Amino acid sequence: MPSISTKQFGIVQFAEEDVFEFPNGLPGFEGERRFLCIERPALRPVVFLQSIEHAELCFITLPARSVDPRYELEVAPEERTILGLATGETSFWDQSLACLAIVCLPSEGTPTANLLGPVVLSRETRKGVQAVRDDCRYSALTPLQPSATEENVADPSAVSKDRSDRLAEV
């Protein structure tokens, strides 16, 4: 079984079928194409998006609907193709897709979540995209409410290293 040495989680073993591939990378990280989703029960609903290639690259994310319960996902046709969705298909993103907002934890100020460009993962095809919207309905700097983040999210020592806690399916 392959494993990676990560900055936050130590050695993490994984199965190839646990990996999400981003064919186009992520904006600003175009060379990063393979990620694992790691979840720790004590930190739910936080999901860590850990790069397979670079141990130091790990995004903190939250399900978009935990930030805004009325969040409406919009996925462009080319992104739908990458995810393996039919162009006219109405996506049931609660079941087949995961929609995650990348969290920013500034050294000062309020933590924010990017609802303008969420990370969208297909549980079926194991593909991912960052679906940047072309409207201004949501912000890339949506302030998080205290209930959306926990004090220990920014504390890496609070993360358990038990492999059984790793999220196999987001």
Q: Do the beta carbons of residue 34 and residue 17 sit within 8 Å?
A: no
Per residue in 109-142, pLDDT (tens digit) is 999 999 999 999 999 999 999 999 989 899 999 9
Reply yes or no on domain 3-144 having CATH 1.10.1740.10. no
DSSP state of 53: S
**Summary mean pLDDT of the chain:** 85
Name the pLDDT band for 159 (thresholds 50, 70, 90): very low
Per residue in 78-111, pLDDT (tens digit) is 999 999 987 665 555 657 899 999 999 999 999 9
Spans of all domains in the chain: 3-144
CA-CA distance, 87 to 26, in Å (whole number)? 22
Give the other-Cβ count within 10 Å of 137's Cβ.
Answer: 11
Is the model's pLDDT at 163 over the cut of 50?
no
The pLDDT of residue 91: 54
Three-state DSSP class for residue 118? strand
Is the model's pLDDT at 144 over the cut of 70?
yes
Among 16, 96, 25, which Cα is nearest to 59's? 25
Is the model's pLDDT at 154 over the cut of 50?
no
The pLDDT of residue 162: 41
For 37, 51, 52, 76, the CA distances from 58, given in Å and listed in that order, are 10, 6, 9, 25
The pLDDT of residue 54: 93
